[in-house]
Structure 1
Amino acid sequence: MKLEKRRLTSEASPQPATSLGGISNNDFAAIVPVISGQIGGRETNIASAKALHKAMGVGRDYSTWLSERIKEYEFEQGVDYVIFDSPNPGNQSTEFNQCSENWKTKRGGDRRSKDHGISLSMAKELAMVERNEQGRAVRRYFIQCEEALSRSVPEIAAQYRRQLKARIGAANLFKPMCAALDAARAELGKQTLPRHYSTESNMIARIVLGGLTAKQWAQVNGIEDEPRDSMTAEQLEHLTYLESTNITLIDMGMDYHPRKAELIRLSQRWLAKRLGVNHA
């Protein structure tokens, strides 16, 4: 995406986030922090590129990944992004401080690790081209959150943040669950085929979605895209809990049918606890 070029009078001047529906004051800052600031003298919302890199589970190191994306998609400093000193020297894990005094424009001679403050438009495109579940979930969040913030409804923005957190959690656990299944079957001298992964995924989906697989649930609800993108935060949190528990049960050597029974039992307990919290 090549954005419209503008004459710029300054690089950046980040300001404390005082709106954004509480984005700066909740635990979403651990995923993709957003603050109110300036790019090229324009007031806008900016996000930490390091935080985005971590949330999307990019395999390459941060500097290489971002440099290549900037070149490939012709993002421009002062138009699409600005460069800041990372609050913690050498920290590549995206611990991002929301206080504007810790976001300082990068200056020569400073060896602290640098971060990039990127526009939400740039963030959406970076998420879109990453082509993984985490990237798609992050992009969906930015789109939804922008719509909600434009209507000044912080409650909706908070709902989308919760859904993104749950969506990433579910995406992050699928591969480890498959790896656990591979290892368990290998110990028994068995080969793991694609249908075995589908069986595990469908088992958990049926527990969460009232007996339907994710594909069946999407068809019933007229959903054409990835089913998990349309699940509620509670459904995704339920799914994440069961995926995590299933990994433990597989590691314990439990066979499929006993695992299924145990997951159903634990699922009912999980739902009962949630119901108790919601009615407290």
Structure 2
Amino acid sequence: MDHALRLDRVGRRYGARGPWILRDVGLDLPAGTLTRVEGANGTGKSTLLRLLARLDAPSEGRVEGRPRTAYVPERFPAALPFTPVGYLCHLGAIHGLSRAGAGKAAGEWLERFGAGGFARTPMGRLSKGSSQKVAVAQAFVAAPDLLVLDEAWTGLDTEARGELERAVAERTAAGGAVVFVDHDPRRLAGAADAVYEVRDGGVRRRAREEAVVPDGPCAVVEVRGAVGAELPREVLRRAVSVGSGEAGVRRIAVPVSHSDVVLRALLDARPPWHVESVRTEEGR
């Protein structure tokens, strides 16, 4: 599997004699995967994300890979001398988009996160919640190969939080790598391909069976396929559970945030799967 980024024995400290925040960290971010980072406050999660986003350089070790990267920091600098649409167009141009392409993408992403109504309002006049919508919208403008999210859901309303989860699922389905920190253990629970814990200056990968199982709503999709057909790998990757019903019906439970991606994968398969029903169930 191709890797968007890899850390090889990376350490980070501030100052030649400062204490080590992180030491001897090895971490792979394969393309097309979702990675969750956990840990108590002050353990170095944000430092790790800044290293992944290449905003900080390691004090030792190597960061391998040069993906197009977008980053949503824990604290977004809202008082920038731009309007939201101007800021997104500026970032799009930096990433190589044409003026027209950047403008189109900016408008689409601001609308998608509910920020279209204040697209031309000076950013210094926006509320904290509105600023956060701009922060997440800017991360998707140039279709990044690596998306780094540091508490990106904090401050968003319910609709925008759900939209961000859907956008993350779409980005990984398109081959991008996404790594995120969030204080809510239910955030994208069961959807991550890997979970890492930052503790005592190190980063440890948790075994898959330790991962949190979502206790929120799941989409349950019932499908029927051709004789001998196998479910697409994209579907199996994202499924919380897969079962069989009567007359060859397959029953697939996935996090609601990934339901659109799963349905698209089923319908795009060759031969396509016939979707018989989709419903939401609580507390799987």
Greater length-normalized contact order (CA 8 Å, ≥ 6 residues apart):
2
More strand by share: 2
Superposition TM-score, scaled by structure 2 size: 0.27
More helix by share: 1
Superposition TM-score, scaled by structure 1 size: 0.27
